[in-house]
Chain A
């Protein structure tokens, strides 16, 4: 990080670029209504008006430009009109295409003029065939392309005007045409991706950056145009730029914006995809030390220890990434869920952990959650009241899991995406086929979170042991205690909590229950194939580790909220996030946690959701610790785990940050599937992060 980059980083974190923000964005509804525009043409108009209204910002020392100045993205329909138009349909997160990954390599490589030619050809073909929809789609795409090109032209002119000749020359080439250099490729990517945000999409991932940018870097190095240090400087500037406008990007919490990238892995042909840019991107992400881009690293049991050690250096910095995905299990699992092998090998990680195919995927990775604790709790309460056997309680749990899957999936039989002409320009073959990505993408599967399984398995194990095994808890007593949240039943609660087997300790019986829960989830998802749906069961929780325990303050929650549970958990206490043992479990450490969770059949459970390990930061104080943590990551891959995320912070540091936020502005933590600044989180999320680290240390 040289002086220029340090300056840029500081200006970015200090909010320097928000001085250029405009007070308001253009209004569109009246104009669209007046002209009687169709939905696709309204979305194209949105991209156009936003581009036109953008104010160009070029600073003298920038080499990669674009600064967002419009504060919001306007609606294209009045709310009541949209509701009437889409009645009976399911609009996932408002129906705006999100949480997918463009075919960046193709889009950058062809340039917008190349894409425009394709759209024109498709339009001509569609006109001849009388395919009105395809004609309109192509015209919408061309309108969006032209708008983006015009904005790029204004940026080039501004750069020329202020004497930033370097940037002017780059922008006179890209994004219109194929980049000639790594610098141009990065600028093209910055521009194209920012336009996706500007068009109202969210969780806009960067995909396999080390794959699609490597040819440009390789050519520069080959030709002697660029040395490594200069390439790193450009990449660092690009990474810093991703943090410039991110406060405008919608998410549940600041930082949850899905600007992730995925490094390493294999090529579509199955060969190692690790190249010098893989290493460089990790080094630069480490040195920049900001929350974007969030790094995913694809590994396998054969991955070079040195690469894992470099990844560990990011972990040591407390960034909460890289998150590791294990190709050995992810690729076969995707292949068995209907993905072509070449596509499966090309997977990237979307906003949090969901596996998605760049350019071809329109999967909804988060249609909702199955609350395992609610399923087990209903089975336990109803089963015990009816005098059921333990096996019968398990059968009832299975029924509850299946019922929840059907409830979450049913609305998605009527899924409808708003047209996305600009995003479609960047997808693999939307323009070629003349069909919007939302309707025509190759993969349009669903993903569901199998949430808080540890607490459900712990509850079932507690009932098995205390009610049906040693018999020191009567069924009536347990039912009564659960009904009153253990008030006046503290001794019973502690017995359930402290004298029962728990997930995370590599204990066969309770881990067996954990696996059965996921098997039932997979069975229920498989049953959806009869309806023509592929539903991918996952192990993530997103924010459901709080919502399933407390409900959702800011809106309705379709999932059931559970009260006190038979694992001795009080009503309202949060669950573990993703694959983490229930908070308060007396863990021995990461080996047993990995062993417990490695037992899940990840051939069937393939929507992602990491095993989360909290390492005390003291681990990193000793010599050789980087190597040992890297060995732990390797062990995860060897055990056949699917996804892994490591945190290294101390609870005392977090508590200090909560009390004195002004002294910890740059403190980064992992929340559920993304990294954010600790001080920008709301208190309930802060508390959960603190408690995770407390349990790791005590």
Chain B
């Protein structure tokens, strides 16, 4: 039985898939997007957050069966409300074996994977093949820009996107609109062209940058340095997607 580090289990997450869902936030992420709004999810090791409500340890180790038991206690409620469980993070695929094991212990549960797509192909397939829906982030198509803003190459992400198609798994593409970074005309067009080739895509969701992104850095003892102008309104342009024949919506 494997163990995993979870930084939050949050119920009634209504932005992370259909119906009423419970989201498991896995701790640890290979990317370092400068606009990340969950800084407590970056390192896999447990850490401490301090706020006016007090101090708390973030990150708890669960046995797969223990986490599955907590989730299965609400399985019927989630099912009744058209929902299920979402694995998010951090990057859940950093702990793919654990996540796959938990999913296997939740038969019949509707499961969503919310991923940056950055993972080994084997890890990606291991989890993606077990879920009902994938929420797949696509940030930047230009490799150099991707390295600059997220600290990693986007090659593995694009490869996994192709694998998702081979699996014939339905997915939603989630595109953060970060002002001056991901919301450029070139990038949005490039994303739309990439997605145009993916028949299992349900829709593209544009997520305009939220100024609250930096809110938790101080509590984590970190400093927020986005490197772009936060006050600039994001370019919310659905046209490149419409032109490519993609269902698109601003979330």
Contacts and interface: CB of A to CB of B under 8 A. Distances in A.
A88 B89 CA distance: 66
B74 A586 contact: no
Contacts of A639: 77
Contact of A591 (B19, B22, B49): B22
A280 to B, nearest CB: 28
Contact of B251 (A619, A623, A691): A623
Interface in A596-625: 615, 619, 622-625
B60 to A, nearest CB: 9
B251 A586 contact: no
Interface stretch (A136-144, A286-294, A628-636): A628-636
Interface in B68-88: 73-74, 77-78, 80-81
A343 B40 CA distance: 55
A623 B11 CA distance: 18
A131 B11 CA distance: 65
Given A584-B53, A588-B9, A625 B14 contact: yes
A599 to B, nearest CB: 12
B74 A506 contact: yes
B15 A694 contact: no
Given A635-B81, A691-B53, A619 B22 contact: no
A565 interface: no
Interface in B189-207: none
A698 B77 CA distance: 24
Interface string A569-595: 000000000000000101011111001
Interface residues of A, number: 26
A586 B14 contact: no
Given A590-B12, A592-B11, A623-B251, A584 B54 contact: yes
Nearest to B13: A589
Interface string B13-51: 111000110100000000000000000000000000101
A6 interface: no
B10 interface: yes
A195 B212 CA distance: 51
Nearest to A589: B11
Point out which of A592, A638, A695 has the most chain B C-beta atoms below 10 A from its C-beta: A592
Contacts of B243: none
Given A635-B77, A694-B53, A628 B19 contact: yes
A409 B116 CA distance: 62
Nearest to B51: A698
B251 A591 contact: no
Nearest to A631: B81
Nearest to A655: B52
Contacts of A584: 53-54
A656 to B, nearest CB: 14
A591 B74 contact: yes
A639 B22 CA distance: 18
B148 interface: no
Point out which of B13, B15, B57, B251 has the most chain A C-beta atoms below 10 A from its C-beta: B15
Contact of A695 (B15, B53, B57): B53
A698 B56 CA distance: 10
A588 B14 contact: no
Contacts of A586: 56
Contacts of B22: 588-589, 591
B20 A622 contact: no
A589 B74 CA distance: 12
Contacts of A589: 10-13, 22
Contacts of A695: 53
Point out which of B9, B53, B56, B57 has the most chain A C-beta atoms below 10 A from its C-beta: B53
B53 A628 contact: no
Contacts of B74: 506, 591-592, 595
Contacts of B249: 623
Interface string A664-698: 00000000000000000000000000010011001
Contacts of A506: 73-74
Contact of A595 (B12, B15, B57, B73): B73
A615 B51 CA distance: 19
Contacts of A498: 56-57
A675 B49 CA distance: 33
Nearest to A584: B54
Point out which of B12, B22, B53, B249 has the most chain A C-beta atoms below 10 A from its C-beta: B12
Interface string A157-183: 000000000000000000000000000
B14 A590 contact: no
Nearest to B21: A628
A264 to B, nearest CB: 22
A422 to B, nearest CB: 47
A632 B49 CA distance: 30
A340 B228 CA distance: 69
A698 B53 contact: yes
9 contacts: A498-B56, A498-B57, A588-B10, A591-B12, A591-B20, A619-B12, A631-B19, A632-B20, A698-B56
Given A498-B56, A635-B81, 6 more contacts: A589-B13, A591-B22, A591-B74, A628-B20, A631-B20, A694-B53
